[in-house]
Structure 1
């Protein structure tokens, strides 16, 4: 069977799909993964054959519409506006990806297409080729408020296919632990979250603990040195508040930021950190609410303190907090003092660790990617 995995966005969207793609390849199927050109190194690092969908950077789609007019970010706006904006820019990415994907499939026709949460090119290409389409969730964030914006943006492409809206997947694979799924969520086949990761040679501090509590701090892979960048500002504020605590601090950040972070705080590890290796050694994960980061903490059984970087991330963070495995600081209440208090609470109250470990056990009981390959095979036999 030939399976085409399609992703798009940042590296996390590759690493979320890589375990299932690797499992399918290990089962003897032919597998390719397609994504925007910026993602090709991450795809290759996952030992998967890579196909480029567009050379345009993601910033092109997030900052301008198809006519080239500037599009302003809805950061700080209501959830509906953020969802519409996100759906539209992912829709523009899908529209730009469609012609290269169609050209590729003239030479290598897949029997099945698997796309990530908002990889709308997967749905469009599957409809064009009349092959089964699988949507795999990248994370535990509810994306239903994002899809309408994509439907609006992709009306020309949908009309060409004789459709009025994006087709529903033939199979929806959800990595969200059952206890955290919204009651009104669409029916799904559960899939155990296993983090793919870009690796380098490991050092002992990455997989061993010390006698002190360990905190891992991250604002994701998209942080820049710009002091006005909200994630950079979160990172620097958090470091300043966590440094006085009697803990080991690891800062997972792009390599470009490491020299600055070391210059400010020479007693911390900063730069590339393999989260899948490090998270189980940590007593606390402090971050911006990124979906893959949150799930990494859940799988490791590590309590979390979350300061959502956008309202779209806040819902999943609140759900995790309601479960008891995390503390969430709402926007406007994320002062350094409150952050320090939340971290101290999460480190000293053992209930957060117990709830986090219960969630880890729930995730480990979900079907693995290897188990799920059979569900993909069944789609092509019907």
Structure 2
């Protein structure tokens, strides 16, 4: 069958989706990946076929020299999908106002530039299945326009589907005059334009592919297929120092690429944390952007700072890791019996950090509470209390019990036959 993956021009999201895409390719299916033209080289570097659609528009670059607009854009990406950051925040006012702002802002900004060209391509190429990143509604619209089955391919917990379910549940309790639904109205306008009936599948897909185990997931109550997460981080080279065993227990620290590439810096006292970790009898390996490294004071000899190292190669060599609770980083580490400390900030990070701690495979600290001493003491617990490693092994086993991406291919063939309308 023909499969089209549709996603925004965001490398961190694309990397998370590559293994499932390749599994379909190696199962014998013809696979294309559609995104903005500037992203074509990233797609082809992964050995996949790129379909440039629409015209380039990078909201982060547009606001690069306008900090107030960038801050508003950053907030707009989260709301209303950050409601799981603070339990109990799903009020109607928050959901209604947040969804209205999201549709007028981020959703239009990221989907409109590719939509018309994408619909034209799907009507020409006639894919059987369209997989789309959960905020790339252009994929759902284009799939419906050509009669393809379509599903969401998650890059983390399903805050988007769960928010949609909570929105509809809360909307039903409002007075009829206040039951607004800006997302349905926006998607419905494209359904009318391209000549098909609007349905809730435009918001949540015919089905959802979740790459996290149940212990780390947010159950939205939707038709979900769970698959084992397999890491891919782009071009990867194992450095010389990683070819040898560590002389002391190794502790790795990463705060993610997005912190510096998009948001302009880290939101924790990095030098304080590194100095605190150096007080332990460990080898610290920290991935720190080069320009940030130059601003830090000299570090003790047991602290190694590198701009990048393949996390899937580093994590198995560690006795513990510290990270920002990014889904891919956390899930990559979880494939090994390695305890984790999550320094979470916003969006889905607090939820993932809580789920990790509830499972017992690690600990969590909000970045607003992170200090050098606090991080040092938490890591000392991870290294010395056997229960953390035992629960990390249980989490690894739960992941390995899930179907691999290759095993998922047959399920997707069945779902395609069920939902395709052409």
Q: Which residue of 1 aligns with 2:276?
A: 241
Q: Report the alpha carbon displacement of residue 373 of structure 1 after superposing the two structures with TM.
A: 0.8
Shift in alpha-carbon separation, 1:141–1:154, aligned structure 2, 3 A: closer
Checking the alignment, whether the CA contact within 8 Å between 1:214 and 1:249 is kept in structure 2 is: yes
- Which of the two has higher C-alpha Rg? 2
Q: Which residue of 1 aligns with 2:25?
A: 25
Q: Which residue of 2 aligns with 1:251?
A: 286
- Map 1:175-214 to 2 at 5 A: 175-182=211-218, 185-206=221-242, 208-214=244-250
The separation in 1 between residues aligned to 2:12 and 2:62, in whole angstroms, is 18
Q: Does 1:74 align with 2:75?
A: yes
Q: Which residue of 1 aligns with 2:178?
A: none
Q: Does 1:96 align with 2:132?
A: no
Shift in alpha-carbon separation, 1:373–1:77, aligned structure 2, 3 A: closer
- Gaps spanning 5+ residues in structure 2: where? 84-93, 169-180, 193-197
The separation in 1 between residues aligned to 2:119 and 2:300, in whole angstroms, is 50
3-state DSSP of counterpart to 1:329: strand
Shift in alpha-carbon separation, 1:274–1:9, aligned structure 2, 3 A: same
Shift in alpha-carbon separation, 1:77–1:19, aligned structure 2, 3 A: closer
Of the three residues 182, 185, 193, the one matched with 1:152 is 182
Shift in alpha-carbon separation, 1:230–1:155, aligned structure 2, 3 A: farther
Checking the alignment, whether the CA contact within 8 Å between 2:123 and 2:145 is kept in structure 1 is: no
TM-score normalised to structure 1 length: 0.85
Q: Report the alpha carbon displacement of residue 362 of structure 1 after superposing the two structures with TM.
A: 0.9
Q: Does 1:57 align with 2:58?
A: yes
Shift in alpha-carbon separation, 1:58–1:251, aligned structure 2, 3 A: farther
The separation in 1 between residues aligned to 2:203 and 2:106, in whole angstroms, is 18
Q: Which residue of 1 aligns with 2:308?
A: 272
Shift in alpha-carbon separation, 1:376–1:57, aligned structure 2, 3 A: same
3-state DSSP of counterpart to 1:134: strand
Q: Deviations over 1:20-68 (max 9, x none)?
A: 11111112211111234554343222111123344111426889xxxx9
Shift in alpha-carbon separation, 1:231–1:191, aligned structure 2, 3 A: same
Shift in alpha-carbon separation, 1:376–1:322, aligned structure 2, 3 A: same
Checking the alignment, whether the CA contact within 8 Å between 2:251 and 2:283 is kept in structure 1 is: yes
Q: Deviations over 1:136-192 (max 9, x none)?
A: 22123533355569x735734432304375343222211121233345543411101
The separation in 1 between residues aligned to 2:213 and 2:277, in whole angstroms, is 30
Larger CA deviation: 322-331 vs 95-104: 95-104
Larger CA deviation: 5-14 vs 348-357: 5-14
TM-score normalised to structure 2 length: 0.78
Q: Report the alpha carbon displacement of residue 218 of structure 1 after superposing the two structures with TM.
A: 1.1
Checking the alignment, whether the CA contact within 8 Å between 1:20 and 1:370 is kept in structure 2 is: yes
Checking the alignment, whether the CA contact within 8 Å between 1:15 and 1:197 is kept in structure 2 is: yes
- Map 1:105-144 to 2 at 5 A: 105-140=122-157, 142-144=159-161
Checking the alignment, whether the CA contact within 8 Å between 2:269 and 2:372 is kept in structure 1 is: no
The separation in 2 between residues aligned to 1:357 and 1:62, in whole angstroms, is 43
Q: Which residue of 2 aligns with 1:48?
A: 48
Q: Which residue of 1 aligns with 2:346?
A: 310
Shift in alpha-carbon separation, 1:301–1:167, aligned structure 2, 3 A: same
Q: How many residues align?
A: 377
